[in-house]
Amino acid sequence: MLSKRLGLSSRDAIAQVFRELHRAPGRWIQERRLDAAKQLLESKALSVSESVTRVGYQEVASFSRALLPRYRFPPGEYRGQSE
């Protein structure tokens, strides 16, 4: 685990990440994944399903639930908005 390699407890490592990023590590990772998916959807190089899989989601439905609060469009509609 990374925290042990840094000589920190898991709790201390999470606290340090929170201080630096102003959000929990899991939240930060999810935001990066959604940002990457947004770029893939805008590029239209991959299908929605392929884009979702590429950024690490297993199901379009769970990806949609995460995407809606951040961008206010489901994946298929978001793709149409970027035209």
pLDDT in tens, 18-37: 999 899 999 999 999 999 98
At residue 80, the pLDDT reads: 53
State residue 55's pLDDT score. Answer: 93
Q: Do residues 40 and 54 make contact, with C-beta atoms less than 8 angstroms apart?
A: yes
Query: Using the 8-state DSSP alphabet, how is residue 77 labeled?
Result: H
Q: Average pLDDT in the 45-56 region? A: 90
CA distances from 25 to 13, 30, 34, 38, 59 (A): 10, 9, 14, 20, 22
pLDDT above 70 (res 73): yes
The C-alpha atoms of residue 50 and residue 17 are separated, in whole angstroms, by 30
Question: What pLDDT shows up at residue 28?
Answer: 92
Domains and CATH numbers, the chain: 2-81 (1.10.10.60)
pLDDT at 46 over 90: no
